[in-house]
Each structure stands twice: as structure tokens, then as C-alpha cells.
Chain A
Amino acid sequence: MTAAPEKTPEEKLREKLEPFPPEFQELIWDYRRTRTAATLEKIVRGMLEYHGGDVFRTKYAEKQDGVLLVEDLGFDSLALVEISFQAEEFVGIVIQLEDFPKIKTLGDLQAFLREKSFPAAAAS
């Protein structure tokens, strides 16, 4: 019996992106090419919109980056873990469980990933 060929990293990423809308998938591929902070912020917003649905859209219109992950969006610990896994898969940044108490809002999550992704810019 011949073993199935090993999937390429791109194929694996494509599988992970399958449940997301096409425009979000495009953001991920764009970020892998350009690595801009602006795209990263859109990605984070897109992740929370995917997981929060209409509740996110309503709260975002009201509070922008101040949308609270737990209180406003109702995310439980499993949802937060899923988001952390996806952040690692999509933008290559690990969020440890101990980091979560510091990440309460959309803005906090964007800032955390931005600082980890662009440490030089954060320091300057």
C-alpha cells in the first residue's frame, strides 16, 4: 500500500481556512505575502466576526475595538482556545493560556498579535 503524500503547508492552511468566508481567506494569503499591520488587524477582526456573528457586528458598530470577548461576545474558554489556535495557524503567533487574562477586547487581541508580529515597530 502506498502512503498518502504528505500535505504541503499551503494545503494544510487551505484546509484550516475552509470554514471561513472567501474574503477572510484572501486576507490570510495577502498577509503571508505582505505582512502588514493593517492586514493583521483586519484578520483579527475577521476572526472575531466569524466566531461572534451578528453579535459581533452589532457590538463592533457600537464599541469598535472596545468589544469585550467574554462579556459582549459570550466566548467561553473553548472558544478562546480555538481562537488562539487559529491565530497560531493563520498568523504564526502563539497565544499562551496565561496571556488571556490580559486580552479582554478586540483591541487587546490586535495589539498583542501586532506586538508579537512586529516587535521592532512596537519598540520604536
Chain B
Amino acid sequence: MPSRRRVAVTGLGFITSIGNDRASVTASLRGLRSGIARKDFAGPDRPLAVSVAGTIREFEVDSPFWSKWKYPAAYRFTPNTLRSLAPHGLYALCAMEQAIADARLTPAQVSDEATMLFSSSAGSPMMMRHWLNTMHDTPDMRGSPMGVVTSISGTLNFNLGTHFKIRGGNCGFVSACASSSHALGYAHDEISLGRCERVLVVGAEDLNADSLMPFMSMKALSNCADPAKASRPFDRSRDGFVGSGGAAVVILESQDAAAARGAKPYAELLGWAQSSDGFNIAMPQPEGEGLARALRRALAACGLAPRDIGYVNAHATSTPQGDRAEAVALQEVFTKNGARPLVSSTKGLTGHPLSMAGAMEAAFCALAIRDEFVPGNANLDAPDEACAGLELPRATLSRAPGIVLSNSSGFGGSNVVLALGPWKS
């Protein structure tokens, strides 16, 4: 078998609740500045049990009509580009432009035959509802020709692949809240196995009633109305996740391609692993068996021992069951083996952006590695008893995290663990 190639993280892009560029995201992570705010999902006259979200500033995209959208003046897109987008497609275009500029890639490099695009989103329930209503409201059921391309879960692939003229490969990943972690994992493998030189990995989600309120019916969302307290991963008083949206982009490149361009990597994506619970459509296996299996596999894939890990960016979304299962898995893999990595969930700051969480949090880990800090656990006052023995810093620590794991878990029991470390030339 040919030797595997190293994979560098060379570009990042952010449209998130804690900032719409790298500098503001870094400042929010360092200062534990929350992105969670009040949000009237159904308008001021219709109060709901859920009233907070990780909101995206500077964007007004609640309308299904692109001509009504407002977005930062730093980005300019033509109607030809906008007409086939969902709101999260607009977020993703902006984050992609940032990441490409950050990596200092030319349009020719983005469009060369060695560059692929891997993306993750749930599609756009808002656009789907709008266009299906329009279709049913028309006697001959004639809908909009934009109905499919703005709505279905491939909408990111269709739009970004066309806009950026991607020619190496264009693929979507669907594993609920583990989706963009899966995308990063498979992107790592494509590069590592020599099938391509570069993958642009994007996760993005709408943030509106259609994308989030179905989770309220599942009792998965926090009913806390205080933005400063609603998302509290690992805390005893947590009562559900706070939804978010936006877009995050991570650009991965082979060591050779990065070196040839003189790129300065943020970090190395060392490897990854996955597992599945085989337990329930929405609940994790209560003892975290699936996630523990993914953690062990990730360590084995990278030739690491539990004591080698300095920091774990947890998936913990602030749900009672999910956080507990993850805490048990971490105890099983680390605490019982005498290892005490720092553990935090950045969702206390950001809320939970569903399928984009993995890309966003891997990008946070890359920032933490390059800039040498460990994000703290926002809103963690009294840790759940299942967390006994875990190192859960409350404040962000100014120190190099060493080797980092980023966990993601999704409905259906999909678990992904990514391992990142400092780039060594």
C-alpha cells in the first residue's frame, strides 16, 4: 500500500453566530462572547416556547425571495447567482469567498482538476415549503423552475460547484449533525490516498422557523428565554439545544500542494474515524458506546494514545441525554485510562448549527491550535454528575492545546471523531 500523505488545513471561512470572519470568531472564542440572542421565530404576535437562537448578524434572509435579502456590502453577487440559492447558500458563498482568500488560492487553483468540493446541509425547509405551496396553489401544479435547486439537500453542491467552477469532484454528505465532520473525514482520505490535492469542505444551515421548529416538537430545543443561559452544555440545568445556522468552510490540502504554494497551514488533520450506535433514530446510546468506539478508532487510526490528547472539542449540544452520553464516552476512553484532556463544548457560545457543526468546530480547533488557546465552557455552573473526572475549563485558556479531537454525533447514531494537531514542516 502506498504511504499516506499528510493533510493540511490551509483556509477557513466563517459566517457564524459568534462572528462573520476569522478575527471576530477568534475574539469570541477567546473572550467567551456569546452569539445567542432573542429571536421571534413566528413574529412578535405569536410567542413560542423557544425564543432564542444563535443568530447570524448582518444578514436578513427570512424571505424566500432573493431580491429581498440583505447581506454585507463586502460581498456582491449577481441575480444569476442568487436566484438558485437558499439562505444558507448565501451564507456558504460568503464563507467560501473568505476561505479561498484566506488560503490565497487563485480562481484557477479552485477550478483545477485536483480540487473537490464536499458540502453538507439539510437543504432548505423554508424554500421547500414556499415552492411546494406555490405548486399546490397552481391549478396544473406548475411550480417554480427554481424549486428544486434552492431547496433540496444538494442545493449547496449545485450552487457552489457551479459558482466556483469546481471540476475535481462535487459531493454532498448527509448524516444529520455529523454531516460536515463526515465530509472532512472523507476529504482527508481523498487527499491522503492521492485522489486529489485539495478539498473545499463546507457546512451550512438556514436559521428560521422551518429549519428549527420541528426540533421543538421533539422536545430537543431549550425553552430557556435567557440568551445568556439557554445553551449550557454539560451543566445540570441544561434543557435542550439552542439552534443556529450560518456557514463554515475548511480548506484541506495535501502537504505537497500546500508547500508548492507556500501556504502556511493552521494545523494538520491527522485522521479520523466513525461509528454508529444502531440504537435509536434520535437518541444516543445512553452509555456513549458508539461515540467511545469512534474515539478509540480515531486514536488508533492516528497512532495516538489517550494521554496524547490535549483537548477535546465536544459535540455536547446542551441536551440532557446527548451530553450525558458523550461525558460517559469520554470517561470511558480517557478518564479510565488515566488521561485528562481538557474538554469543552463551544456550543455554549454558538448554539447548535446542525449539519454545519462539524466543519465549524474543526475550524475552531484549527484556530485554537495555530493561535494557542483552549476555548472554555460558557454557561457551565454546575457540571452534570456524569462529568466527574472530566477537565472542563470554564474560561478560555491561553495555552497550546496540543493534539485535539473534535467530536460530532447525529440523529440515527452517527458518530465522527476528527484528530487535528499542530502543523510540523
Residues on A facing B (Cβ under 8 Å): 7, 12, 18-21, 50-55, 73-76, 78-79, 81-82, 85
Residues from chain A with Cβ under 8 Å of B63 in the complex: 19
How close is B167's CB to chain A, nearest CB, in angstroms? 18
- Residue among B66, B80, B137, B144 making CB contact with A12, cutoff 8 Å: B137
Interface of A is mostly: helix
Q: Given A7-B137, A81-B145 in contact, is the A75-B84 Cβ separation under 8 Å?
A: no
How close is B151's CB to chain A, nearest CB, in angstroms? 13
- Residue among B66, B67, B83, B137 making CB contact with A79, cutoff 8 Å: B83
How close is B300's CB to chain A, nearest CB, in angstroms? 48
Whether A82 contacts B146 by the Cβ 8 Å rule is yes
Whether B145 contacts A20 by the Cβ 8 Å rule is no
CA distance A51 to B80 in the complex (A): 7
- Residue among B66, B67, B80, B144 making CB contact with A74, cutoff 8 Å: B80
Whether A54 contacts B78 by the Cβ 8 Å rule is yes
How close is B337's CB to chain A, nearest CB, in angstroms? 56
Residues from chain A with Cβ under 8 Å of B79 in the complex: 50-53
Whether B65 contacts A82 by the Cβ 8 Å rule is no
A-facing residues in B117-147 (Cβ within 8 Å): 137, 142, 144-146
Whether B137 contacts A85 by the Cβ 8 Å rule is no
Specify the chain A residue showing the minimal Cβ separation from B148. A78
Residues from chain B with Cβ under 8 Å of A55 in the complex: 78, 80
CA distance A19 to B66 in the complex (A): 8
Whether A78 contacts B146 by the Cβ 8 Å rule is yes
CA distance A51 to B81 in the complex (A): 10
CA distance A73 to B149 in the complex (A): 20
Q: Given A19-B65, A19-B68 in contact, is the A79-B149 Cβ separation under 8 Å?
A: no
How close is A119's CB to chain B, nearest CB, in angstroms? 25
Specify the chain A residue showing the minimal Cβ separation from B67. A19
Residues from chain B with Cβ under 8 Å of A81 in the complex: 145
CA distance A12 to B83 in the complex (A): 21
Interface flags for B62-82 (1: CB within 8 Å of A; 0: not) read 010111100000000011100
Specify the chain A residue showing the minimal Cβ separation from B66. A19
CA distance A12 to B60 in the complex (A): 25
Residues from chain B with Cβ under 8 Å of A18 in the complex: 65
